[in-house]
Amino acid sequence: MAADLEGKVWDALRAVRYPGMSRDIVSFGFVRALELDGGTVTCTLEMSTHNPDNAEQVRAASEDAIRDVEGVTAVEVRLHVQAPQKRDPAPKVSQSPDLLPNVHSVVAVASGKGGVGKSTVSANLAVSLARQGLRVGLLDADIYGPSMPTMFGIHERPQTDGQVAIPFEKYGVKIMSLGFVLDVDTPVIWRGPMVMKALEQLLGEVAWGELDFLIVDLPPGTGDAQLTLTQRVPLSAAVIVTTPQDVALVDARKGLAMFQKVKVPVAGIVENMSGFTCPCCGETIDIFKRGGGQRTAEVLGTPFLGAIPLDPAIVEGGDAGEPIVVREDAGAHVEAFGSLANAVRTAVAERETPKLTIA
């Protein structure tokens, strides 16, 4: 009976979430010890956080969850909170933390090949994070094919304060792109050093201000732009975008391997264009196959961050300068991008929070 009760208590604690995160406190490792004496349960929570109010919310929610378990007669939840230790990023050549001194977390969105909707994912991820109350910037680092001017409907040149460029701000996101300063029909024919210099200027010579997240939309592939970013900026995480078909998945694996090789934590894989639901009959058609992103994530041992459905409304919104999460308040695509935002926040929080052993 005691074992059954203990199992039920653990299940109850797995339903408790840290505020703002989608992951439960058990998998986070916050439950340090659990003791049962008949129907009396004593639970010890231990966590590192800058926000003691969030820790208290977790304690109260844990106490309520345990109390609701059948067979529990008394509950005591002990809470130990400590300030997070400063964790140095994995060593990378020539990194300059001073390049973005007021940006808390930099997340790269990448793909092994073009045409998988990486920029669409970047734009909607940034807006989704902003709608969760976070301070968000979006850097369009796709030097050869900048898309953000179109996706956000901005066709002006940025202003400067005499020293640095002022990013545009729309839908709660600060945005900068090389596309704001180049003519639409001007091709970018640059060698590696020019690409690296341009990216460094977009990072360090823009008045980003205080940001919780800077989302960086990288060009496809594993070239100079990707290398520059990993060398110059301490990345908090990378998100790999793919479509379900095999040809895209092969390239996605290469992109993931690149980040792993340069010691950048990979938040996981997103499967874009995953299934089309016919508006007339309601049947779902797997135009580009389905489930390949999840299977690849399992094989490579990295999280699967979700599937974004194929929907004409996403394309129409991007062409009209309104990301789908702005244009529509609900729907499978809006829910998918919201879940992606939560997953990215969780991945970054995990990197900053020491994992604790569950007794």
Residue 344 half-sphere exposure, CB side, CA atoms within 13 Å?
34
Confidence (pTM):
0.67
Q: Where in the chain is the domain with CATH 3.40.50.300?
A: 97-352
Q: What is the CA radius of gyration of the chain?
A: 22
Render each residue's pLDDT in the chain as its tens digit; 359 residues.
566 888 899 899 989 987 766 667 887 778 888 899 888 999 999 887 767 888 899 999 999 999 999 999 999 999 988 765 544 443 343 455 567 888 999 999 988 767 788 899 999 999 999 999 999 999 988 877 788 989 999 988 888 877 888 999 999 999 998 888 765 555 555 555 676 777 778 788 889 999 999 999 988 766 666 777 777 788 888 999 888 876 667 777 777 778 877 788 888 888 888 777 776 776 777 766 667 777 777 777 788 888 888 888 888 888 888 998 888 887 877 888 888 899 888 888 876 544 433 33
165 vs 123: CA distance, rounded Å = 20
239 vs 305: CA distance, rounded Å = 9
Contact 11, 70 (CB under 8 A): no
pLDDT for the residue 191: 57
Q: Which helix (H) or strand (E) holds 77?
A: strand 74-82
φ/ψ of residue 131, rounded to 5: -75, -10
**pLDDT tens digit string along 164-203?**
889 999 999 999 988 887 655 555 555 556 767 777 787 8
28 vs 346: CA distance, rounded Å = 10
Q: What is the residue-averaged pLDDT of the chain?
A: 80
Q: Where in the chain is the domain with CATH 3.30.300.130?
A: 2-82
Pair of tokens at residue 38: 């008949």
CA dist list (Å): 162 to 99, 169, 202, 266: 18, 19, 15, 37
CA dist list (Å): 39 to 6, 135, 239: 10, 45, 45
CA dist list (Å): 37 to 3, 67, 68, 76: 11, 14, 17, 12
Tell me whether strands 40-48 and 31-37 are parallel, antiparallel or unpaired. antiparallel
As a CATH number, domain 2-82 is 3.30.300.130
Architecture label for domain 97-352:
3-Layer(aba) Sandwich (3.40)
